């Protein structure tokens, strides 16, 4: 940052909001007065459209009873496929390659059980040491189910600095013993965006199936799966896509894999026209719907119907541009206002490698997060010393960013954090 040209004034923040072409979406969300919500990378806020969609779904249950499966505005029987078509543009995939179903971990189990095919010495799974723990638990359990020791058969690429991964290190680990690769699209702590296109190309050169966990990227950055040729992906909808706590997840399967038998077959993976024949012979759907397992959680899917419309209207490229502008602005403010208070940036500064949140590190991070909440700023703590701040394009403003860093400086100047224990809460 060039301090001679950076304008750290409140008035400049307001002027950025006046120029923001996405600012009208802010009024679509329930924003708590006196609170600046910067935790949308953990749980997005409720929108009025999502609320309306949920109430409409309750009404369809009330009105139709069992006939809601085939009648009403959004028949439940094909709801997962309908929403798959609406989510697909966010990752630039074909509509039949995406299905809204399950949860991130359930879907990952499905994908690994389907695509992990150990043959000869090609028996190992490649992941990384910085990924979200649930993904590691899934991979470990899948290896155990196949009779392999996770200590020897789960490769976790090391980080050079504990924050970031280097694509070169991941590629170097793609040995002829690797049968499957599962990586995050964006690292949940540091917010680093991995080069999915490059990693996919390198994996395929070595005849390795590769999939990604998109939980911290979908709805925040564009993906181009129709160009990148990724084999599969899984994600949640409750972070940047604002579908509500525990909202139903999603998965993508590259169409060139259609027809591959799901590792975990379930009733809702059947061809729709065959499902109610009630045969004991599984006839799988001819698209990504084949990888559904159980009956869709209709009331948990419903909010996504309302939320996804805003992404169609705003456009994922515009959302990404605003997100980059906001995180860049936040980093400049941090450098300008907080340089003397022991903070360090743990996220990438380059736009192509930076996701939707800022990752600040401080030895007193847990206490600082509690002080921020006391002052009406909602951050996210990640052990051992990380503060995640996510200015979300659809409902946060540049004024929010300015005020949050101003409040953070006041907390440090007055040492307000010292009244709290430097220990995370039950939910960090």
Binding site for pyridoxal 5'-phosphate, by residue number, is 104-105, 132-135, 213, 216, 238, 267, 295
Judge contact between 387 and 361, C-beta under 8 A: yes
Cα–Cα–Cα angle for 134, 135, 136, rounded to 5 degrees: 90
- Beta-sheet strands, E only, within 152-213: 154-157, 178-184, 209-213
Rounded to whole angstroms, how far apart are CA atoms 208 and 127? 13
Q: Helix, strand, or coil here: 56?
A: helix
Tell me which H or E stretch contains 250: strand 250-253
Judge contact between 390 and 380, C-beta under 8 A: yes
Q: Known binding site: residues?
A: 104-105, 132-135, 213, 216, 238, 267, 295
| Measured CA distances, 272 to 99, 103, 261, 286 (Å) | 14, 22, 16, 10
List the alpha helices (DSSP H) in 102-242: 104-115, 133-145, 150-153, 167-172, 196-205, 225-228
Of the chain, the end-to-end C-alpha distance in Å amounts to 31
């Amino acid at each position: 940052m060039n301090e001679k040209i950076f304008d750290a004034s409140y008035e400049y923040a307001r002027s950025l909001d006046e120029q923001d072409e996405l600012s009208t979406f802010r009024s679509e969300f329930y924003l708590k007065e006196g609170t600046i919500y910067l935790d949308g990378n953990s749980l997005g806020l409720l929108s009025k459209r999502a609320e309306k969609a949920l109430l409409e779904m309750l009404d369809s249950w009330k009105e139709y009873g069992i006939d809601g499966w085939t009648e009403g505005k959004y028949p439940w029987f094909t709801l997962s496929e309908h929403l798959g078509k609406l989510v697909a543009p966010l990752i630039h995939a074909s509509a039949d390659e995406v299905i809204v179903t399950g949860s991130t971990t359930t879907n990952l189990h499905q994908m690994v059980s389907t695509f992990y095919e150990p043959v000869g010495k090609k028996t190992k799974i490649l992941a990384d040491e910085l990924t979200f723990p649930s993904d590691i638990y899934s991979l470990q359990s899948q290896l155990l189910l196949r009779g392999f020791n996770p200590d020897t058969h789960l490769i976790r690429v090391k980080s050079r600095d504990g924050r970031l991964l280097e694509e070169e290190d991941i590629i170097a680990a793609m040995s002829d013993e690797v049968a499957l690769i599962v990586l995050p699209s964006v690292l949940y702590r540091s917010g680093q965006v991995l080069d999915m296109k490059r990693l996919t190309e390198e994996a395929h050169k070595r005849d390795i199936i590769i999939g990604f966990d998109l939980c911290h990227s979908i709805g925040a950055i564009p993906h181009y799966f129709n160009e990148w040729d990724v084999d599969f992906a899984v994600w949640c909808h409750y972070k940047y896509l604002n579908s509500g706590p525990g909202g139903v997840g999603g998965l993508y399967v590259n169409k060139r894999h259609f027809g591959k038998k799901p590792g975990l077959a379930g009733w809702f993976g059947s061809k729709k026209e065959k499902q109610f024949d009630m045969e004991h012979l599984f006839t799988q759907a001819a698209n990504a719907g084949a990888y559904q397992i159980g009956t869709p959680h209709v009331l948990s899917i419903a909010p996504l119907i309302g939320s996804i419309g805003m992404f169609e209207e705003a456009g994922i490229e515009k959302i990404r541009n605003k997100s980059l502008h906001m995180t860049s602005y936040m980093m400049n403010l941090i450098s300008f206002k907080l340089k003397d208070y022991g903070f360090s940036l743990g996220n990438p500064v380059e736009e192509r490698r930076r996701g939707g949140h800022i990752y600040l590190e401080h030895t007193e991070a847990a206490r600082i997060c509690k002080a921020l909440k006391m002052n009406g700023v909602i951050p996210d703590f990640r052990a051992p010393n990380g503060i995640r701040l996510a200015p979300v394009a659809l409902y946060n403003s540049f004024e929010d960013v300015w005020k949050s860093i101003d409040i953070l400086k006041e907390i440090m100047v007055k040492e307000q954090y010292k009244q709290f224990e430097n220990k995370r809460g039950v939910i960090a």
